[in-house]
Amino acid sequence: MSTQALESTRPALTRLSDEEAMFRDAVRDFAEAEVAPLVMQMDEAQQMDPGLVGQLFELGLMGIEVPERFGGTASTFFTSVLVVEELSRVDPAVAVLVDVQNTLVINALHRWATPEQQEQWFPRLATDTVGAYALSEAGSGSDAFALACRAEQQGDGWVLNGQKLWITNGNEADLFIVFATVDPSAGYRGITAFLVERDTPGFTVGKKEDKLGIRASSTTELVFDSCRIPGSAVLGEVGKGYKVAIETLNEGRIGIGAQMVGLAQGALDHTLRYVQEREQFGKAIGRFQGVQFQLAEMATDIEAARLLVYNAARLKDAGEDFLVPAAMAKLHSSRVAQSVSSMCIDLYGGYGFTREYPVEKYYRDAKIGTIYEGTTNMQLQTIAKLLLQ
């Protein structure tokens, strides 16, 4: 079945402007032509293809909200969401590299960077520099501000000591937004964000994690050993790092929602083709009502998740409150990605359990959606807390 035919099977609920639809289609064509042939190779090698990263920059997908004067696309957060969704249809590992760049790193610089910092970093982030977001540590996952990484002021600069874990884009990044505490006695009010360049003395990118899914996306540790950075490297204000982290992650959840929607759609697209080709009992299995009902359930669940994600992104762009919609979007889409990818394996039967067919990778990739940028329990807590206010 062609991409156009597959598109016609989807409910016409998520209306896009002509410009948005053209951009989405361009990303879809790129993903199918350039990313798809590399998916299994990158997954097995656990490494992003360097040439592909260059293509992402050339297409303007790494600086979507960066102003044109800095070489960016000067588009919207919603456009970032469309890009992440379309890349995830083909490879969620590639999508998360783009997602972190746009919804976390660039968004944080938009909101908190000084004009001088934006002048320094926006041109690079739009053209050749990958960014990473370094918050998590061994003892601070969901309890995000239980940081052991320390920043001590010395003269007109700072010295960082400590370790970060599970940092997406660690191998590819040249700019890291690093969160450290300048005053442990102050609790979360002692957290400060810093801009750290990869080649800074005392900073080392450590081991790469061997993961279940999104294996081409690098997830690494970072080590700071008397890492000296200038005073100009502070992002936002000293002691306001918790605000940088919270506000950025609230936006980032929408990006993860888009990743999960795209993943689920990709798994379903493959399955729609398969059930019309695979025959049992003398006819294609897609002609059995039981299978048709399963396909209908999956398509409905995906569209509901897509609407939640799109709504949250539209609210964000409109400057309206999106905290609960973002949590709901991530919560529901991550569940849908797991349920849909699992059902797709069931419909493939024994073939779905092998690496010869693509659905097993979607199933592996889906699991991270309930964990990073806020676990399922954290999303439920956010929603419930605000409902009860």
Active-site residue set: 373
Element (H, E) at 42: helix 39-45
* Residue 226: alpha-carbon gap to chain centroid: 31
CB atoms inside a 10 Å sphere around CB 104: 24
Segments in 223-358 forming alpha helices (H): 241-277, 289-317, 323-348
Strand partners, 208: 220
| Token pair listed for 354 | 């092998």
CA-nearest of 275, 267, 179, 196 to 230 is: 196
What amino acid occupies position 152?
Answer: E
Q: First and final CA of the chain: distance in angstroms?
A: 49
Contact between 175 and 125 under an 8 Å Cβ cutoff? The reply is yes
Element (H, E) at 116: helix 115-127
- Pair type for strands 173-181 and 283-284: unpaired
- Rg of the chain over Cα atoms, rounded to whole angstroms, equals 21
| Token pair listed for 293 | 């009902």
| DSSP code at position 73 | -
Rounded Cα distance between 65 and 74, Å, is: 5
